[in-house]
Structure 1
Amino acid sequence: MNSKLLTDIITSPDSNNTITKSDLKKVFLRSIPMEFTWNYERQMSLGYCYAILPVLKKIYKNDPEKLRDAMVRHMEFYNTTPFIITFPLGITAAQELENATNPDFDVDQIATVKTAMMGPLAGIGDSFFWGTLRVLGTGIGTSLAIQGNFLGVILYLLIFNVPHFLMRYAGTFLGYNLGTGFLKKLEQSGSMQLLTYGAAIIGLMVAGSMTAEMVYLTLNIPVGVGKTATTLQAILDGIVPGLVPLGIFGLVYWALKKGMKPLTLTFLLMIIGILGAWLGILA
């Protein structure tokens, strides 16, 4: 990697708002335990906020209210491949710096760009690390381990983790430098609104896909008798596939907007699922 890319120091008009190589290294190190705080409510949000926090504290150190808003902003739902999480973290750092120094910056772009990257990065990262690198390392390590060679364990760890940490480290600086230069070009060309609109569309597509893939509910209510008998689920799927999960998602979203606690809602859904299965309403 170009050494200049790693040693560049981007300074804003306010000398207090300076992101250095040292700051980005803190982001890299704090990204390592990203999965330790994974949870079902917001998944990687807490780890993401923890990783970006040193940069936020430096950028907004003279404005506690903006620091609070930034921390809340990065506690929103987020999930992607942890091995390349530093790439969006670097871009986020660049966007937060731009937000602190540019009064015309649209702060909603930060969440929009993050969400737009979530799906594509997950597809690339999962395919490479889980689907390729892990299988390769396991194959080589296992072939030696079954012969009683302890080198198999070491080789597995090296084959998987050396590329992982190199990519994680480089992704921090690559994301930051890309984000800084890209934002300036967009501002100069006047294409920022177009980017935001496109990223918002991608983000909605990602959220919709996650709803269809991660929400499971099958109604087991019979309709009709004899050979013509079917189920309510089959009828609804014939009208709009995935209509029932979408309806449940809408109800959960509405309940959260009304102020219901996520934990309370989780237990309520568990009770409904158990009772529905026991009564035969849910398959």
Structure 2
Amino acid sequence: MTTSNQNTVENQPLITKKELTRMCFNTGALGMEYSWNYPRQMHMAFLLMIDKQLKKIYKDNPEGYAEALTRHMEFFNITPQLAPFVGGIVLSMEEERNKGLIDGSAISGVKAALMGPLSGIGDSIFLGCIRVIALGVGLSLAQQGNILGPILYFLIYNIPAFLVRVFGAHLGYDLGFTYLQKAQANGTMDKLMHAAGILGIMVIGSMTCDMFWAEVSLKIGSGETAQTLQEILDGIMPGLVGLGVTWTYYWALGKKVGPVKLILLTVVFGIVMAYFGIMAA
């Protein structure tokens, strides 16, 4: 085989369209919320969804496969119907990672950057729109005793959901593979990795405000001029309490404190602080 032919083979996608379609219907993809937990949410289901393809990508690289398994046990949360789209992009990047062309942190950064925007779009479409329409049609017929009520609800909601899953997986893989090939050719891969890291940090930063709630009710001063400590902290920087707690958790996890222990400590801490009036109940 000539060098030209070798390059052509190396630049061909490794995962077939049939394999991508099957990925959309496996246990991980359809059970994206079955293994949901507070510390990392959908991470196990996402890994299960792409595991068969990871084995194919890293069949001659057991260390790379182990690294990929560890990487995809990180926090992940998204509208379930859009998970295959992210899976497609991730698989295309894992192929490049196996060739040594990108760093594993770029894959984690892209995943983190996609979670927030896609969840906002997906939740609005599937939960705020399609599900409402499906319920409206299904309930109106069910109240009349029409058997088509539950059937139409099932079809109206699930047909778009499965179409998005399948076409999303193919689009994500093709988009990722095509873009990565171009990025390697014109030298923008380093910029992509840098931008993915920035976006990942921004998403994590915004999550500290959106996913953490606590109010310090302790008052400073007396009479009408009294202010809660929460108001003072918000005046310095909104979300400062959430940021501080997030970094505390990050530090504790670095010291090998388990997530379950952190959850129990948080519950006890919250009860004690609320009892003494330091934090709002």
After TM superposition, the score normalised by the length of structure 1 is: 0.91
Letter in 1 for 2:42: M
Match of 2:232 among 228, 232, 235: 235
CA shift for structure 1 position 21:
2.7
Measure how far apart 1:12 and its partner are: 5.1
Contact 2:35 2:42 in 1 (8 A): yes
Superposition map of 1:1-283 within 5 A: 13=10, 18-30=14-26, 31-100=29-98, 102-283=99-280
> Over residues 180-205 of structure 1, what are the superposed CA-to-partner deviations in whole Å (9 max), with x where a residue is unaligned?
11100111111112222222222222
1:68-121 deviation digits (Å, cap 9, x = unpaired): 111001000011111111101001111111222x23322221111111111111
Structure 1 gap ranges (5+): 1-10
Q: Deviations over 1:230-274 (max 9, x none)?
A: 211111112111111111111111111111111111100010011
Once residues 157 and 66 of structure 2 are traced to their aligned partners in structure 1, the CA distance between those partners, rounded to angstroms, is 37
Contact kept, 8 Å, 2:220 with 2:227, in 1: the verdict is: yes
1:14 deviates by 10
Structure 2: give runs of 5+ residues left out of the alignment.
1-7
Residue 210 to residue 67, structure 1, CA distance change in 2 (3 Å): same
- Asked if structure 2 preserves the Cα contact closer than 8 Å seen for 1:276 and 1:282, the reply is yes
CA distance in 2, matches of 1:267, 1:253: 16
Q: Are residues 105 and 156 of structure 1, via their aligned partners in 2, closer, same or farther at CA, if it must alter by over 3 Å?
A: same
1:51 positional shift: 0.5
Counterpart residue number, 2:5: none
TM-score w.r.t. the length of structure 2 is 0.92
Does structure 2 conserve the Cα–Cα contact (< 8 Å) formed by 1:26 and 1:51? no
For the 8 Å contact 2:212–2:242, the answer to whether it is kept is: yes
> Are residues 99 and 12 of structure 1, via their aligned partners in 2, closer, same or farther at CA, if it must alter by over 3 Å?
farther
- Taking the aligned partners of 2:124 and 2:57, their CA distance within structure 1 comes to 35
Aligned residues: 271
1:63 to partner: Cα distance? 2.2
Task: Give the share of equivalent positions with the same residue, in percent.
Answer: 47
**Structure 2 counterpart of 1:98, which letter?**
E
Deviation at 1:125, TM superposition (A): 0.6
Query: Cα distance 1:170–1:248, how it changes in 2: closer, same or farther (>3 A)?
Result: same
Show CA shifts across 1:48-79 (max 9, x none).
Answer: 11011001111112222211111001000011
Distance 1:12 1:93 in 2: 18
CA deviations on 1:149-184 (whole Å, 9 max, x unpaired) are 121111111100001011101111111111111100
Q: Distance in 2 between matches of 1:12 and 1:44?
A: 35
After TM superposition, the runs of 4+ consecutive aligned structure 1 residues lying more than 3 A away are 11-15
- Cα RMSD of the aligned pairs, angstroms, is 1.7
In structure 1, distance between residues paired with 2:114 and 2:149: 35
Contact 1:26-1:54 within 8 A present in 2 as well: no
